[in-house]
Amino acid sequence: MLQVYLVRHGETEWNAARRIQGQSDSPLTAKGLYQARQVAERVRNEGITHVITSDLGRTRHTAQIIADACGCEVIDEPRLRELHMGVLEERILDGLTEQEEIWRKQMVDGSPKGRIPEGETMTELAVRMRAALDSCLDLPAGSKPLLVSHGIALGCLISTILGLPAYAERRLRLRNCSLSRVDHQQSAWLANGWIVETAGDVSHLDLPALDELQR
């Protein structure tokens, strides 16, 4: 059985300011750095062999802190990037026009063909996220990788493992530096292949963490 840990990056300045990031970037806040250290401590003794990360700054910084704790190197994987939010990237959430808010909502409300202009669909996101996860099957026997990615991206990945369409209404909350785990296994009582062991665990954090909409 292959166990793969999934971590969302620590809080960023734009998370705190309610600014849309997508594949744009902003640095971790002091709280985000603290969260990264806490999740690193949580997994320090789990036998992590590979820390694989989205190549955006906020994930790479989170991943480096985890890798230092686990004695691993950081491996960049661009397929783990966040959903491309097109023309809404870098925009303040509360300043969107009515039309822009419609575009944004289509990414989370179950619209099958939702796409922000110049951005990705959830289906396109799901394809590359699943490919990144499946590539872990090629690691040496006995590996235990940890992937660092983003809230929408990881939520989409976990939801599709559960059998939901990529564009399904979002019902999984993954806060900053939450920890999830998926396993690849053969089982008499579960579907063969990828299954979800845990999702969105924040028991290692001693301060409240934000989700994407800061609710």
Q: Which residue of the set 9, 50, 61, 150 is catalytic? A: 9
83 is in an annotated binding site: yes
60 is in an annotated binding site: yes
Q: Which residue of the set 61, 77, 82, 89 is catalytic? A: 82
11 is in an annotated binding site: yes
207 is in an annotated binding site: no
10 is in an annotated binding site: yes
Is 101 labeled as catalytic in the residue annotation?
no
Q: By the 8 A CB rule, do 6 and 149 touch?
A: yes
22 is in an annotated binding site: yes
Place of tokens 């990705």: 120
Is 82 labeled as catalytic in the residue annotation?
yes
Written as one string, the DSSP assignment of the chain is -EEEEEEEPPPBHHHHHTB--TTS--PBPHHHHHHHHHHHHHHTTTT--EEEE-SSHHHHHHHHHHHHHHT--EEE-GGGPPPP-GGGTT-BGGG--HHHHHHHHTTTS--TT---TTS--HHHHHHHHHHHHHGGGGSPTT--EEEEE-HHHHHHHHHHHTT--TTSPP-----TT-EEEEEEE--SSS-SEEEEEEEEE-TT-SS----TT--
150 is in an annotated binding site: no
82 is in an annotated binding site: yes
Distance CA 202, CA 66 (A): 16
15 is in an annotated binding site: yes
12 is in an annotated binding site: yes
89 is in an annotated binding site: no
CB atoms < 10 A from the CB of 31, how many?
Answer: 20
48 is in an annotated binding site: no
Which parts are annotated binding residues? 8-15, 21-22, 58, 60, 82-85, 151-152
Which parts are annotated binding residues for substrate? 8-15, 21-22, 58, 60, 82-85, 151-152
Which residues belong to the active site?
Answer: 9, 82
